[in-house]
């Protein structure tokens, strides 16, 4: 049989046809594609709100929209991007598609639960969009009471319930991944032969299961406060609004590790493949994923330094925040040491991976600055914070997502994307991103508050730079949308392993058959069993057909 094709040319895409077969599928790969479509849609919506923000901030005066409208716009941007893009993207798309194949299984442990996760996501997303069309909320994505419970005349309850439901989508996905990784590994696939992608997704799944229920109950309490005045957050009823912040950030801080760990998962795979080398310090990278997940639960108070939280608690949180930087730093060091004396090639996915390392380092270090209590008091609620989290979320998570999409696109679709356009887009994203967000560090340090639609005229130059960068960034996002779609019909047929990469996913045809493996694999090799500089370079996607 031709190893580049499954029997009779059937794969998971054409095995069954018709909308019903997609909407009732139990195949983890099809569910991943369903997520790809819906997550991309929400990214577009969130991006449109971002464009509105950057348009308003071109001028110091509030001339594009009222302050109240602006509050609704940045709230929508945050809620859509955090809950409906950043948290689900890599786990639900790449995690769903790859984890069973990477461990040598036919599917996830609970395929029907997987489909339920997608339907919960869609239901929640529809509810959120409905709420937005009804005017959205003006509370920010953080929903702090007593404003959200007592004073806001916006759709807090509807959005709160939407986020609540979306939470359960994530919990079920995390649960599914944890059980799958524990129970469904192929013979010979021991824990320390797993790709680091799986380790990071495992750590992410721990956070999904342990953290998300807390925001679920917190939003329910907030709805109870708003509708029934139960008095837990409302100071006029004897409640404490800071309790909401404790409960909210107990989840929402680990949530940012839900966003970054899967991206780090991708980066490990990309660095290994495009250096033709085993990741340096495999064990340490694996343990650091778990460490990030665990330590990430101990630091939430660094979002509350100026909230009237006790100074002593603040000090402890500040110290613990320093600790959580260490495993992230270990990863960055280990990826860098992997590059050293590796056979490095600069295909599109690698460009994203290298960009990630640089930008995540900046984002992570500025996180350490913010974790320093004294410094944070100066820059809290300024654009410094905004710049920091966009560096880690866009420069980190999004770069990893795009790198992963490009890397596994041939596997998922059987087609190659055009390499020239891939590289160009990566460059545009990198340049556009830095132009957008680096000025914001300066603005924040100079004192420009976040969530304001007006600012003193002397800051206009930096704001214009930022908005200009956003336009470049937008082009960098639109291009892949176009050429990925183009490639589905006109892209070169990809073989089983166009990157000559190691890993079980590259042993199956592109696209894979519905049950992944013709014969259940037996694993005898370590992960990333490259021969260092002796490995042949990937044939890459820069074939004779480059433009």
Residues that bind another protein (CB under 8 A): 100, 105-111, 113, 171, 175-176, 178-179, 182-187, 209-214, 216-218, 221, 224, 228-232, 237-240, 242-243, 246-247, 250, 297-298, 301, 308-313, 316-317, 515
Give whichever of 240 and 381 is closer to another protein, judged by the CB atom: 240
Least distance CB 209 / another protein (angstroms): 5
Give whichever of 226 and 390 is closer to another protein, judged by the CB atom: 226
Least distance CB 311 / another protein (angstroms): 6
Give whichever of 48 and 210 is closer to another protein, judged by the CB atom: 210
CA dihedral of residues 434, 345, 93, 89 (deg, nearest 10):
-10
Give whichever of 113 and 365 is closer to another protein, judged by the CB atom: 113
Give whichever of 76 and 162 is closer to another protein, judged by the CB atom: 162
Give whichever of 210 and 427 is closer to another protein, judged by the CB atom: 210
Least distance CB 360 / another protein (angstroms): 26
Give whichever of 98 and 332 is closer to another protein, judged by the CB atom: 98
Give whichever of 106 and 451 is closer to another protein, judged by the CB atom: 106
Cβ-proximal residues to 296 (8 Å cutoff; 6+ apart), any chain: 207, 253, 254, 256, 257, 324
DSSP tag of 416: P
Q: Give the Cα separation of 511 and 302 in Å (integer).
A: 45
Tokens 């708003």 map to which residue?
226
Q: Are 155 and 131 in contact (CB under 8 A)?
A: yes
Q: What angle do CA 181, 184, 187 make, to 5 degrees?
A: 110
Closest CA relative to residue 269, chosen from 201, 326, 205, 206: 201
Least distance CB 344 / another protein (angstroms): 36
- Strand boundaries in 43-120, DSSP class E: none
Q: Helix or strand or coil: residue 195?
A: coil
Give whichever of 251 and 417 is closer to another protein, judged by the CB atom: 251
Q: Which residues of 509-522 are buried (b: 16+ CB within 10 A; e: fewer)?
A: bbbbbbbbbeeebe
Q: Is residue 419 left, alpha or beta, with left meaning phi > 0 and alpha meaning psi from -120 to 50?
A: alpha
Give whichever of 286 and 462 is closer to another protein, judged by the CB atom: 286
Q: Which helix (H) or strand (E) holds 496?
A: none
Least distance CB 210 / another protein (angstroms): 5
Give whichever of 312 and 534 is closer to another protein, judged by the CB atom: 312
Least distance CB 168 / another protein (angstroms): 9
Q: How far is CA 151 from CA 81, 146, 234, 238, in A?
A: 25, 7, 11, 17
- Strand boundaries in 26-76, DSSP class E: none
Burial of 456 (C-beta count, 10 Å sphere; 0-12/13-18/19+): exposed
Least distance CB 359 / another protein (angstroms): 31
Handedness of CA 445, 446, 449, 453 (dihedral sign): negative
Q: How far is CA 214 from CA 171, 245, 248, in A?
A: 11, 12, 8
Closest CA relative to residue 414, chosen from 508, 483, 347: 508
Q: Are 387 and 438 in contact (CB under 8 A)?
A: yes
CB atoms within 10 A of CB 101: 23
Least distance CB 106 / another protein (angstroms): 5
Q: Helix or strand or coil: residue 382?
A: strand
Closest CA relative to residue 322, chosen from 280, 255, 368: 368
Least distance CB 225 / another protein (angstroms): 9
Least distance CB 228 / another protein (angstroms): 6
Least distance CB 407 / another protein (angstroms): 25
Q: Give the Cα separation of 154 and 157 in Å (integer).
A: 8
């Amino acid at each position: 049989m031709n190893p580049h094709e499954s029997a009779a040319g059937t794969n998971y895409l054409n095995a069954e046809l018709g909308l019903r077969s997609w909407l009732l599928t139990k195949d983890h790969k099809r569910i991943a594609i369903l997520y790809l479509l819906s997550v991309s849609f929400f990214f577009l919506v969130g991006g449109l709100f971002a464009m509105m923000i950057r348009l308003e901030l071109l001028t110091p005066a509030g001339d594009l929209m009222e302050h109240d409208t602006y509050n609704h716009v940045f709230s929508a941007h945050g809620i859509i991007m955090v809950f409906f893009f950043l948290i689900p993207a890599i786990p639900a798309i790449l995690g769903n598609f790859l984890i069973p194949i990477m461990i040598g299984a036919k599917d996830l442990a609970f395929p029907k639960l997987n489909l339920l996760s997608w339907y919960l996501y869609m239901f929640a997303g529809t509810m959120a969009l409905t709420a937005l069309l009804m005017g959205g909320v003006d509370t920010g994505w953080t929903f702090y009471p007593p404003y959200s419970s007592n004073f806001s005349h916006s759709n807090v309850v509807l959005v709160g319930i939407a986020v609540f439901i979306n939470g359960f989508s994530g919990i079920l996905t995390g649960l599914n991944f944890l059980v799958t990784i524990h129970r469904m590994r192929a013979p010979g696939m021991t824990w320390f032969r797993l790709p680091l992608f799986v380790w990071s997704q495992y750590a992410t799944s721990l956070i999904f299961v342990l953290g998300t229920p807390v925001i679920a109950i917190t939003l329910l309490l907030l709805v109870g406060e708003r509708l029934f005045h139960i008095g837990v957050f409302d100071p006029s009823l004897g409640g404490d609004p800071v309790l909401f912040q404790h409960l909210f950030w107990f989840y929402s801080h680990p949530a940012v590790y839900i966003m970054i760990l899967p991206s780090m998962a991708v980066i490990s795979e990309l660095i290994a493949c495009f250096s033709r080398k085993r990741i340096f310090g495999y064990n340490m990278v694996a343990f650091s994923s778990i460490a990030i997940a665990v330590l990430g639960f101990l630091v939430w108070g660094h979002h509350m330094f100026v909230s009237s939280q006790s100074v002593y608690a603040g000090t402890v949180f500040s110290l613990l925040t320093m600790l959580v930087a260490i495993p992230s730093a270990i990863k960055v060091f280990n990826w860098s040491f992997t590059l050293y004396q590796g056979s490095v090639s600069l295909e599109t996915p690698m460009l994203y991976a290298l960009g990630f390392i640089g930008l995540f380092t900046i984002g992570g270090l500025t996180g350490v600055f913010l974790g320093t209590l004294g410094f944070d008091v100066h820059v809290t609620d300024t654009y410094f914070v905004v710049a920091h989290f966009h560096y880690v979320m866009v420069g980190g998570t999004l770069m990893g997502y795009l790198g992963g999409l490009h890397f596994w696109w041939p596997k998922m679709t059987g087609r190659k994307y055009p390499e020239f356009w891939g590289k160009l887009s990566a460059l545009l994203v990198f340049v556009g991103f830095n132009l957008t967000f680096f000025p914001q560090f300066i603005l924040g340090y100079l004192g420009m508050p976040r969530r304001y639609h007006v600012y003193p005229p002397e800051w206009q130059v930096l704001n214009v730079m930022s908005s200009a960068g956003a336009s470049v960034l937008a082009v960098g996002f639109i291009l892949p949308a176009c050429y990925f779609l183009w490639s589905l019909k006109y892209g070169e047929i990809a073989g089983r392993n166009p990157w000559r990469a190691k890993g079980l996913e590259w042993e199956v045809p592109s696209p894979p058959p519905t049950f992944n493996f013709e014969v259940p694999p037996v694993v005898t090799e370590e992960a990333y069993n490259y021969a260092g500089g002796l490995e042949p370079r990937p044939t890459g996607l820069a074939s004779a057909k480059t433009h």
